[in-house]
Amino acid sequence: MAGIYIHIPFCKQACYYCDFHFSTSLKYKDELIQALIKEIKLQKDYLAGETVETVYFGGGTPSVLNADEINILLNTITNLHTVSANAEITLEANPDDLSKEKLQALRQTSLNRLSIGIQSFFDEDLAWMNRAHRANEAESSVKRAQDIGFENITADLIYGYPLLTDQKWKYNLDKIFELDIPHISSYSMTVEPRTALASFIKTKKQAPMDEQQSAEQFILLMDAMQAQGFEHYEISNFCKPGHYSRHNSNYWKGVKYLGLGPSAHSYNGETRQWNVANNAKYIVALEKSEIPAETETLSEANRLNEYIMTSLRTMWGLDLKNLEKIAAGSTAELSKSLPEFFEKGWLVQKENTLSLTQTGKLYADHIASSLFF
């Protein structure tokens, strides 16, 4: 079992908070697609023949691709890999790209899951983020996708930023429930270095984010999702039963994946590999049949820490038996750090599994880093 991630590094405009690799110029889109096709061919043995269960188009904004371009990439993959008949194939999309005509064309491809970047249903908030769409487009794009036959939809929402009152946050959540979207990814607004938002805060054009507000809105989120029958299966992800993101779940469970495109990461259980985060250098390298990537062999401590970080974020928790498979004696060493978190009510243990409590989810990163080897 394995996954493939395809990074499409183009956006119509730059969201102020985003630090992913992208370009706002589509000038070299054709050349980049040809480079992706070349990389798919050069990397055909990376997954060692494992069946591909998920394909994920991320970015950037993959919905800038047309249906023919998506088909070319998917056909290249299926010609070189064994792809499961029921593979989950996801496209990240901006609401403003999802016209009726575009959706009808996408429906004719192998895509069977849409990830729609809604972020908010308030125009002033979207403008503050410098999003390309407006609130009415967010709602109408979901309805159009559903009408055309896309049932497996996930939407992104952001909380914890100055314009978002608790009342507005509840409205956003109620709108999601009203639209009957079965999966939600929701993130606290974070200030990443080298973003416009970081610059605005540094120059005092924008107030810093409020950690207390973020924590309170995260609690509101968890409570609202639970009341609507959603499972909180990963810190930032909620779904109706049976609607997990199979692709992202595999990341958290340590399944192998191949990353294609500039800045994309790959993982095969023993090493991690990442491509250059530069479109021009990526294209030039592939024109020479070179893979523009660096590789790191993961140490035992790397693998232990990665498992701790990813597993604790999920409802499945940290399996101590799996930890022992990575390194004998690791459970005994880990146990020395656990009493503090049991006493605070942040962690619970059931048989061989450690899980975060609802309060513990507020401190997930702190807990995981405290347990690192």
Digit-coded pLDDT (tens) for 20-30: 988 888 889 99
Token couple for 54: 């998920």
CA distance 356 to 367: 9
Token couple for 27: 């000038």
Q: What is the pLDDT of residue 184?
A: 98
Q: Say which residues have a Cβ less than 8 Å from residue 212's Cβ, sequence separation at least 6.
A: none
CA-based nearest residue to 263, from 117, 106, 59: 59
Q: What is the pLDDT of residue 143?
A: 98
CA-based nearest residue to 155, from 213, 254, 225, 66: 225
CA distance 65 to 12: 12
Digit-coded pLDDT (tens) for 259-297: 999 999 999 989 999 999 999 999 999 999 999 999 999
Domains of the chain, each with CATH number or no CATH: 2-251 (3.20.20.70), 300-371 (1.10.10.920)
Type of residue at 289: S
Say if residues 259 and 58 touch (Cβ distance below 8 Å). no
Our CA dihedral for 256, 261, 263, 268, rounded to 10 degrees, sits at: 10
Type of residue at 231: E
Whole-prediction pTM: 0.96
CA-based nearest residue to 160, from 17, 360, 313: 17
Name the DSSP letter for residue 351: T
Name the DSSP letter for residue 230: -
CA 221 to chain centre: 18
Helix (H, G, I), strand (E, B) or coil at 26: coil
Ranges in the chain, pLDDT < 50: none
Digit-coded pLDDT (tens) for 179-234: 999 999 999 999 999 999 999 999 999 999 999 999 999 999 999 999 999 999 99
Name the DSSP letter for residue 251: H
Q: What is the pLDDT of residue 371?
A: 96
Mean model confidence pLDDT for the chain: 96
Q: What is the pLDDT of residue 26?
A: 86
CA distance 213 to 197: 18
Type of residue at 218: F
Q: What is the pLDDT of residue 257?
A: 98
Q: What is the pLDDT of residue 25?
A: 85
CA 195 to chain centre: 19
- Count Cα atoms within 13 angstroms, Cβ side, for 226: 8
Name the DSSP letter for residue 288: T
